[in-house]
Amino acid sequence: MRVLVLGNAQRPGVKEEAERLLPVVREHTEVVAVDLSQELDLAGIDADICLVLGGDGAILRAARQMGYKQLPVLGVNLGKLGFLADLTPDDLLCCFAGVAKGEYRVTHHLMFECVVEGSSPKRVFLGLNEIAIQSGPPFQMIDLDLIIDGELVSSYAGDGLILSTPIGSTAHNLSAGGPILDQELAAFAITPICPHTLTNRPVVDSADKVFTIVVRRACASTTLISDGQQLVPLAVADRVTVRRAPVRFALVKVAGRSYYQTLRDKLRWGTQPNYRAEPSPDS
C-alpha cells in the first residue's frame, strides 16, 4: 500500500505526532510523500490512501489540496472535535496493520463546485462542507435570491444563507438550525441565517440541480466563505453558482465506528438530558 501523509505542522502537536506515527506507517506501507507545510503539488502523486494528521479543518484543507484527484482519506484527530477525523493517534497505532491489509471500507461523499461572478474576476472553488454568504460590519441585513435550475425559489432577508453538503450538515448548517443529513445522500441543504421572515425555513434539494444565489442588497463586508477557509467579498448583483463537483470525497472507515454513533459521542445527539438524581427519603 502507498500512503500520502498530509497535515499542518503549524498546529500544536502535529509535528510531534507525525514523528511518532510515521515509523509505524512505514513499517507496514510505502510512504510516497509527507507534506506538513501544505505546499506540495499533489497532481503527480499516486497513492492508495491519504493519511491526514489534524482535525476536521485539516481534512477540509486536504480535500482542497487534492483538488480533482481525490484519494481516500484516513483522518487522525489532533484537534478538538474530530467529527471526520475520528481516530486518535493511539487508535491508529492499534488498527493500522489491519488498514495496511485492506481491512477497511471507503465511503463516498458529495463535494461542491462553486463559481463566483460579478464585481470581481471569476473565482472557482472546490469544497466539501458548505458555502456561507454572510453579512459583515456594519452588520446590516442583506437580501439574497435563491434560484434552482433557473427558477426563483425564494428571497431571503437576514444575516445570510448557508448551502451545505451532507458532510457539512453537522457544522455551520446545524448551528444555524439546519437539518442533519445522512453523509452519503446526494443532496444540498439551504439554511437561512437569522432570517427576517419567520416563514423562511431550511430546504433540502437534489444535488443534481444547479443552485444560484444572487446578491440583491449587501453591506460593505458581505462575504462568501467556502469551508470556513476561503473568503471572497461580495457586492450587489454578484452571482454565486453551486453544483455537484465532478469528483467525490472518499473517507476511510475502520470497523467499530458508525455515523450515528459519532453523532451521539461527539455532538451528544439523541442522548437523554442529564437529570439530577432524586433526593433520598432521608435527605
41, 46, 48, 56: the catalytic one is 56
Residues 108 and 70: beta-carbon distance below 8 Å: no
Rg (CA), the chain: 21
Is 56 assigned a catalytic role? yes
Please provide the DSSP assignment of 58-93 as one string. Answer: HHHHHHHHHTTS---EEEEE-SS--SSS-B-HHHHH
Residues 11 and 54: beta-carbon distance below 8 Å: yes
* Mutual angle of helices 89-100 and 14-28, in 10-degree steps: 20
Instruction: For residues 112 and 13, give the distance between their C-alpha atoms in angstroms, rounded to a whole number.
Output: 31
Among all residues, which ones are annotated catalytic? 56
